Amino acid sequence: MDLDKLIRTDLNLLVILQVLLEEESVTRAAIRLNLSQSALSKSLSRLRETLQDPLFTRTAHGLKPTTHALQVKQNLATLLQGLSQISQPPSFDPATSNRHFSISMLESAYATLLPSFIAPLFQQASNLHLDFLNWGDNSLQNLQQGKVDFAITGIDFYDDQRLNTQNLPTGIAHTLLFHDQQTCLVNQNHPALALLDQGRWDLQSYLGFDHLQACCEGNNLWAIDYFLEKQNKQRKIICTLPDFYGAASVCAHSNLIFTLPSCFVNHAQKLYPLVEVPLPFKFYEMAYALLWHQRNTDEPGHKWVREMICDSVANIYAKQEG
C-alpha cells in the first residue's frame, strides 16, 4: 500500500469518477453532483493526472471509458461503499447483526447467571455469535488486550490484597450484577446437622470438620480463608476440585463440608441429596460482576450486550426476591 500516494489523493475525485462511469456524460454527471460542467471538467483533468490515464474518450454518444477506467470500475463502487460505512457513526442493530462476542466466565456463573440472559439476548439478536470461555489466570489480561469482550467473575467485599479481583487492571470497568453470601452444603447424614438441631453449630464445630474446596482462578484459598487466617484459624481442606459440580459430587459422597456462594445451592441440590447449612459466623458478602474494557463503554454493540446481561440478571433476581 502506497500511503504517501494516498495522502496526496483527493478522495472526492473517486466519487466524481464513479458518477462519470455511471453516466458516461459530463452534463448528466454535473447535474447529479450539483457542479458546473466547468468544475467537473477540471476534476476530470485532475483524475487523469492522478491515475495517469485518459479514463474517457469523447464520442457522439458521450464519454467512452478506457480499458483502465473499466478495470477501476470493477472495484470502485465497493471501495466507496466501504468508505461510506467507515464515515458513518457507530451503530448496532441487534435484529440483523451477526457480530461475534466472547465472554470469559467463572465456572459457577454458567449455572447461576447464563440461563438468566441467554434466552432474552438471542430472542432479540438471533444472528449473534457468542463464545463462552472459562475464567482463568489470564482472563483479565485477555480483557485488557481485547482478546475477549466481557468477563463475569466474583468479587469479595472482604478487604485483602491477595484477592485479585479487587485489584482490577488499568482500563477495566465493571458493574455488579447481584450480591450473594457464603453458605455450606453437607450430605443428608452429616453430623453437622445434629449440631445445628441442638443449637451447637458454631465456628469451632465448623473448623472441627474436614472441608473440600472448589478452586477459583487457580487459587486454593478463598476470602473466607484469609478472614480466618487473621484470627489464627484455618479450615482443614483435604480435597480440592477444579469446578463446583465436581465439588458438589464429592460433598454428596463424603463427610466433607462444601462452602460456596448460596446462588449455586439449588443447582447442586437438583443433582445430589445435599442439605444447606448456614455459615456459623458472620462473613462479608460477595458479588458477581460484569467486566469490560473502558474503550468499549460507548461502542453500540458492546453497550447493547452489556445492558441486556445486566437487565436480564436484574429481572430474574428481582422476581426471586419478590
pLDDT at 3: 47
pLDDT of 219 above 70: no
pLDDT at 136: 81
Higher pLDDT, 215 or 212: 212
Q: Which domains does the chain have, with CATH numbers?
A: 3-87 (1.10.10.10), 100-179+288-321 (3.40.190.10), 182-284 (3.40.190.10)
Phi, psi angles (nearest 5°) of residue 215? -75, 135
pLDDT at 320: 61
* Interhelix angle 26-33/37-51, nearest 10 degrees: 100
Q: How far apart are CA 96 and CA 108, in angstroms?
A: 32
- Mean pLDDT in the chain? 88
pLDDT at 281: 95
Q: How confident is the model at residue 195 (pLDDT cuts 50, 70, 90)?
A: very high
Selection from 247, 288, 268 nearest residue 116 by Cα: 288
Q: What is the DSSP string of 150-180?
A: EEEEEEE-S--TT-GGGSPPTTEEEEEEEEE
pLDDT at 217: 59
Q: Report in angstroms the alpha-carbon separations of 51 from 57, 62, 72.
A: 15, 21, 10
Summarize pLDDT for 38-85 with one digit per residue, the tens: 998 999 999 898 889 999 999 888 899 999 989 988 888 888 877 766
Summarize pLDDT for 113-159 with one digit per residue, the tens: 888 999 999 999 999 999 999 888 788 889 998 999 999 988 887 77
| pTM of structure | 0.69
pLDDT of 112 above 90: no
pLDDT at 100: 95
pLDDT of 321 above 50: yes
The neighbouring-strand residues paired with 15 are none
Q: How far apart are CA 71 and CA 197, in angstroms?
A: 87
Q: How confident is the model at residue 254 (pLDDT cuts 50, 70, 90)?
A: very high
Q: How confident is the model at residue 86 (pLDDT cuts 50, 70, 90)?
A: low
Q: At residue 88, what is the residue type?
A: Q
